[in-house]
A and B are shown apart, each in its own frame.
Chain A
């Protein structure tokens, strides 16, 4: 189409009965560019922070299997993606100026011929979501590391996973994946991320706690060097250091020596798991006695150390306790609640919180989740929550 002239523009203004004196001098003559209908352009609505990421030259990545909902990942965040339909036409126009820009540039041309690059009735919308990290543990649990003496590693046919492998299999950002690897005490062995087999992990922990006991070290001042020296003949040095890092807080004293402050809660919790995994349930008071006797000298066991690991049944006589690990439960909100209500019909908020805490979105509270997925009632003067739907 021929480009419009000033005379044509002015004629149109006259026909439209618009007063040129009330308008800025510049006009944009909009036409559809040659590629406009091609459908090659689309719009992505950016959540706060993503615009700055793109402007800084960083990339975003869409991840997902063909049958999964796609997610979009920045360096450190994950977003659900979906198409938002508007009933309006959205035209995207390069080189089109706002009134401020026109006023700021006195030399702006009288006629600006702008070509519409594309148009759409929809755009991709993002919503920040929890990274889908359950798969990470599942992958690493395919082949837990049982120690250098294990025959398994040599003959193992299971895949082992590098960081790159994990990035291509898990719907999460790199930082979220690396953070989770730290949370689950994974370690890199020969370039692959591994999780320790629980029995092997307890064996390592036991070496350390026995050494602390025999050397009469303070639990808050366990020397790295001495551990490596004394235990180096029993286990690989990397594994000794790994167990200290997992169950202790590393620090350096004024002389530059490395020490660990052992983490009482985490050690007591691990020993509880070791005891509980051997039976369906235990008499609570018997368990508490054995548990206290099993932990290192100087450590005190408390039931609140077992949140998200074990559940006490106060309705049975005598009271019992059984293993229930939050990481074994479904990742999806509705499925998680279905599973929990299948285990126990009515929950108090105190009991259920450790099992739903991880479902909370960025600014969501446990209370909000309970309002959405459960129904409350009073039982013996205590507020309890049960399923909104009948459980078969």
Chain B
């Protein structure tokens, strides 16, 4: 039987990350990986409402305390994306996520200045 250990590696307190939940897909503007690309600017209103500007859209969201936090696991050894039951693998808990920014509303398109027809 396979036994895969999930541990924090004992390196002190776990980092706290945030989850950003978006509807639909995020695609790079140019073809290729997302890695290295900008996503957008995240602001908060004075009332604490998250506002995300992505490309030509404004997304309004809310801060949600997660009833069930997440652990972010990073696989050690073995190939990535393979089944969880692969032997010789071990997961490290890199961080915990207790809060998410949920963007559920329809994105508002940003109308940029349209040149007048002459």
Please tell me which stretch of A96-104, A286-294, A303-311, A326-334 contacts chain B, meaning at least 4 of its Cβ atoms lie within 8 angstroms of it.
A96-104
A selection of 27 A-B contacts at a CB cut-off of 8 Å is A18-B58, A22-B45, A28-B41, A29-B40, A32-B39, A35-B35, A36-B33, A37-B34, A41-B72, A43-B73, A45-B70, A51-B69, A51-B96, A54-B14, A55-B13, A59-B6, A61-B3, A62-B4, A65-B2, A88-B24, A91-B21, A93-B20, A96-B20, A96-B42, A116-B20, A117-B94, A123-B70
* B21-61 contacts to A (CB < 8 Å): 21-26, 33-46, 48, 50-53, 58
Chain A 87-125, CB within 8 Å of chain B: the 1/0 string? 111111111111110100000000000101111000110
B34 is contacted by which of A22, A36, A42, A44 (Cβ under 8 Å)? A36
Q: What is the CA–CA distance of A64 and B21 in the complex, to the nearest angstrom? A: 32
Q: What is the CA–CA distance of A33 and B42 in the complex, to the nearest angstrom? A: 16
Cβ–Cβ < 8 Å partners of B41 in chain A: 4, 9, 12-13, 27-30
Q: What is the CA–CA distance of A304 and B94 in the complex, to the nearest angstrom? A: 54
Cβ–Cβ < 8 Å partners of A86 in chain B: 21
Of all chain A residues, which has the CB nearest B23?
A88
Q: Is A312 an interface residue (CB 8 A)?
A: no
Q: Are B85 and A64 in contact (CB under 8 A)?
A: yes
Q: Are B42 and A37 in contact (CB under 8 A)?
A: no
Q: Are B6 and A64 in contact (CB under 8 A)?
A: no
B93 is contacted by which of A30, A54, A72 (Cβ under 8 Å)? A54
Point out residues on A near B: beta carbons under 8 Å: 1, 4, 9, 12-13, 15-18, 22-24, 26-48, 50-51, 54-55, 57-66, 68, 70, 72, 81, 86-100, 102, 114, 116-119, 123-124, 167-169, 171
Please give me the 6 A-B residue pairs with the lowest Cβ-Cβ distance, nearest first. Answer: A99-B48, A59-B7, A96-B18, A28-B42, A30-B39, A62-B4
Of all chain B residues, which has the CB nearest A59?
B7
Cβ–Cβ < 8 Å partners of A40 in chain B: 74-75, 80
Q: Are B1 and A65 in contact (CB under 8 A)?
A: yes
Cβ–Cβ < 8 Å partners of B94 in chain A: 41, 117
Measured between C-beta atoms, what is the minimum distance from B58 to chain A in Å?
Answer: 6
Q: What is the CA–CA distance of A333 and B97 in the complex, to the nearest angstrom? A: 35
B48 is contacted by which of A46, A100, A118, A119 (Cβ under 8 Å)? A100
Q: Are A89 and B22 in contact (CB under 8 A)?
A: yes
Q: What is the CA–CA distance of A124 and B84 in the complex, to the nearest angstrom? A: 10
Residue among B8, B18, B74, B95 facing the most chain A CB atoms (10 A cut-off): B18
Measured between C-beta atoms, what is the minimum distance from B82 to chain A in Å?
Answer: 10
Cβ–Cβ < 8 Å partners of A118 in chain B: 72
Q: Decide: A36 near B71, CB < 8 A? Known: A64-B2, A66-B2, A89-B26.
A: no
Q: What is the CA–CA distance of A340 and B42 in the complex, to the nearest angstrom? A: 60
Q: A27-B42, A54-B96 are in contact. List 16 more A-B contacts (CB 8 A).
A: A12-B41, A18-B43, A29-B38, A36-B33, A54-B8, A55-B13, A55-B14, A70-B84, A89-B25, A89-B26, A90-B20, A91-B21, A92-B18, A93-B19, A97-B18, A99-B50
Q: What is the CA–CA distance of A12 and B98 in the complex, to the nearest angstrom? A: 30
Cβ–Cβ < 8 Å partners of B7 in chain A: 58-60
Q: What is the CA–CA distance of A72 and B22 in the complex, to the nearest angstrom? A: 29
Q: Are B84 and A62 in contact (CB under 8 A)?
A: yes
Cβ–Cβ < 8 Å partners of A4 in chain B: 38, 41
Cβ–Cβ < 8 Å partners of B112 in chain A: 15
Q: What is the CA–CA distance of A12 and B42 in the complex, to the nearest angstrom? A: 11
Of all chain A residues, which has the CB nearest B95?
A94
Cβ–Cβ < 8 Å partners of B26 in chain A: 89, 91, 119
Measured between C-beta atoms, what is the minimum distance from B92 to chain A in Å?
Answer: 10
Cβ–Cβ < 8 Å partners of A95 in chain B: 17
B35 is contacted by which of A32, A42, A57 (Cβ under 8 Å)? A32
A1 is contacted by which of B25, B36, B81, B95 (Cβ under 8 Å)? B36
Residue among B42, B52, B93, B112 facing the most chain A CB atoms (10 A cut-off): B42
